[in-house]
Amino acid sequence: MKRISLSLLLLAGFNFVFSQREYVPDKHDLDHFMTTKTYVVLDQSPMSDFNFEIKDMMKQLWNITDFEFIKASEFPEKSQDPNCSFLYTSLVSFEKDKTDSRYVFLHLSLGGQNLTIDDLKDIASVPLGYFGVDPESYIYKLGIILKFMQNHINLMREHPEYISANVFKHYNDNMQDAHGKTLYLIADELSKEISTAARIKQVYPYKFKIVSRDEIHQAILDGNNDVVFLHKVGPEGKKMRARCYNILIGAGDAMFYYFDYHMISPKKPDGLLKSDLKKLAR
């Protein structure tokens, strides 16, 4: 697992910069995680929006392990303890990606003796946003992603046959379950070919609503089980070539109902595509 040099440590307020992670946890790792204490690594800026939100959400929602908040400077030493796990953000690039794109991921990893920070074993990681995009586009979703991570670990422990390098593909089996819920979409996260309600109806015959970020945030706060929303991760005009992740998340149950990504191109812009909606409508 070759990763970008940690000389880029603490770049722009995020904790670490890695290239693509390839480790796939096994059931032993997942069971061991349950016995660890989880250290939440805070951004170096005390006024970071991430710090405020993660502190609040951990206290409200985290129940799978004991936890404690630490500074980024404490991470290298504590990461050597195999009885510890860590929740932290990083900037991730992909080894075979020549676009030099970087994405903000939230990681949950195991510590271990004789492991460098580069080699921590990921238990789960979820893309939050594209590096350089305003964090306000994803900070309000941290709580639901924390809930997902806990549910994901419990599911993988109960069904180790789901564990694979493409573990999130399993959640695409839930696509049809979204048909009975209202799909919340944000206008600026849609490709032009589905940019209006009329165009969406031509492809997606189920309930949907074009909403604001505040409405999605409120659905998450309410734990609204009748809502699934789009979590889109892309460069938002900052780069012409990069990955665009499109993930559907239940506002109440924190379930992933769809997970996919595409490389942005003139024919596949940064946003939910018509082809995504066609898959969801099946």
Integer CA distances (angstroms), 90 to 47, 131, 183, 231, 267, in order:
18, 10, 29, 18, 30
Which has more pLDDT, 13 or 62? Answer: 62
Distance CA 172, CA 68 (A): 33
Distance CA 154, CA 131 (A): 30
Indicate the pTM of the whole model: 0.89
Whole-number pLDDT of residue 3 = 37
Q: What is the pLDDT of residues 128-141, one digit of tens each?
A: 999 989 999 999 99
Whole-number pLDDT of residue 15 = 45
User: Can you say how many angstroms the Cα of residue 22 is from the centroid of all Cα atoms in its chain?
Assistant: 16
Whole-number pLDDT of residue 240 = 75
DSSP secondary structure string for all residues of 132-143: TS-GGGTGGGHH
Alpha helices in the chain (DSSP H): 27-33, 49-61, 75-78, 142-158, 197-203, 213-222, 274-281
Whole-number pLDDT of residue 169 = 78
In the chain, % of residues over pLDDT 90: 71
Q: With bands split at pLDDT 50, 70 and 90, how would you rate the model's confidence at 142? A: very high
Distance CA 123, CA 58 (A): 17
Whole-number pLDDT of residue 2 = 28
Which has more pLDDT, 52 or 12? Answer: 52
Q: What is the pLDDT of residues 209-244, one digit of tens each?
A: 999 999 999 999 999 999 999 999 999 877 778 999
Closest CA to 185 of 157, 164, 216: 216
3-class DSSP state of 193: helix
Res. 40: pLDDT tops 90:
yes
Task: Please compute, for residue 279, the number of CA atoms within 13 A of its CA located in the half-sphere on the CB side.
Answer: 17
3-class DSSP state of 118: helix
Query: Residues in the chain, how many?
Result: 282
In the chain, where are the structural domains located?
Answer: 6-160, 166-281
Res. 10: pLDDT tops 50:
no
34 backbone dihedrals φ, ψ, rounded to 5°:
-65, -20
Lowest mean pLDDT among 44-48, 58-62, 105-109: 44-48
Provide the Cα torsion 167, 94, 4, 136; round to 10°. -80
Average pLDDT (161-171) is 79
Distance CA 114, CA 112 (A): 6
Distance CA 222, CA 215 (A): 10
Quote the tokens at residue 198: 């009329």
Task: Please compute, for residue 88, the number of CA atoms within 13 A of its CA located in the half-sphere on the CB side.
Answer: 36
Q: Are strands 243-250 and 256-263 parallel, antiparallel or unpaired?
A: antiparallel
Closest CA to 14 of 54, 57, 43: 43
Region label for 237, one of left (φ > 0), alpha (ψ between -120 and 50) or beta (otherwise): left
Apex 34 CA angle, 33 and 39, nearest 5: 65
Whole-number pLDDT of residue 165 = 67
